[in-house]
Amino acid sequence: MNIRLHFRLFATTAGIGLVLTACGSSGSPPGASGAPSAAPGTSAPSRSATVSVPPSPSAITPPGTQAPTTPAPGGSTPPLGSGRFQPMWPFTTLAEARAWERDFHSAGHQPWHLDPDQTALSFTQGYLGFREIGRVTAHTVKGRDARIGVGLSRPAGVTGPAALIHLVRYGTGPDAPWEVVGTDDTTFSLTVPGYGSIVRSPLLTGGRITGVDEGIRIQVRQPSSAAPLGTSCCTPAGGNDRHWKESAPFSGAEDPVLTIVASTGGHIAEVERFTVTAVRTG
């Protein structure tokens, strides 16, 4: 059977929980607050298209840091929740991913879950709230594993991602949805706390950065909450591959996996680069 899917991505200011994000009847991915919305006449960004938002930063330097979500030897993809990969967004459990598959097969609900580009942009704009980042800058899919670069939207010709998002298929079937599991980091990394580790508040974060006059913000997020569980701003940083650290208190954690987000910007946009890691609450 040949199925043609049409995707749309919209930004709103309303928050929404995980159930509507994963299994709602809308075919559009979450917008800036995580809620599906309708905006007739607006097309979703493709691999070379942009969403009309503020300017993009210059290109990030070539990769030099190995991310904690690198596939296992031999090209196999470890299961989510194995300690190797953690389900960050949009589904918190395999049962939720399978429930969406059933809804998709019966009624065609939210087909954007089958597109890694749309899932990466929805994660960035909807879940993280980085509405200025609306362009796909890189696209690599190998089997059930994908790396999608996302960047600030601006006129064509500007390259370089704000982050390289790692996604894997959540499930074993041909229509298993894409799930964000982390980022592949280069000039800006988040290595503390360790990927998949159990955390408590206050949270000690840290990593390495290359840049000039950077100000690092920390957010602690969970899929079931529209607002961050905790924030910390802004740690001054800069130099060539320099260490940074920051403490971030948080409260209200209920989901099994939390997303720790570090972002920096302020030169031409509020957020120009970001990195994420997944941690567990117990």
197-252 pLDDT, tens per residue?
Answer: 999 999 999 999 999 889 999 999 999 999 999 999 998 998 899 999 999 999 99
Determine the pLDDT at residue 209. Answer: 95
181-193 pLDDT, tens digit per residue, is: 999 999 999 999 9
* Terminal-to-terminal C-alpha distance of the chain: 43
Neighbouring C-beta atoms of residue 212, cutoff 10 Å: 9
Domains of the chain: 18-36+47-57+83-280 (2.60.40.2550)
* Residue 164's pLDDT band (cuts 50, 70, 90): very high
Distance CA 71, CA 67 (A): 10
Nearest residue to 151 via CA among 165, 141, 140: 165
Question: pLDDT per residue over 75-100, tens digit each?
Answer: 445 567 666 899 999 999 999 999 99
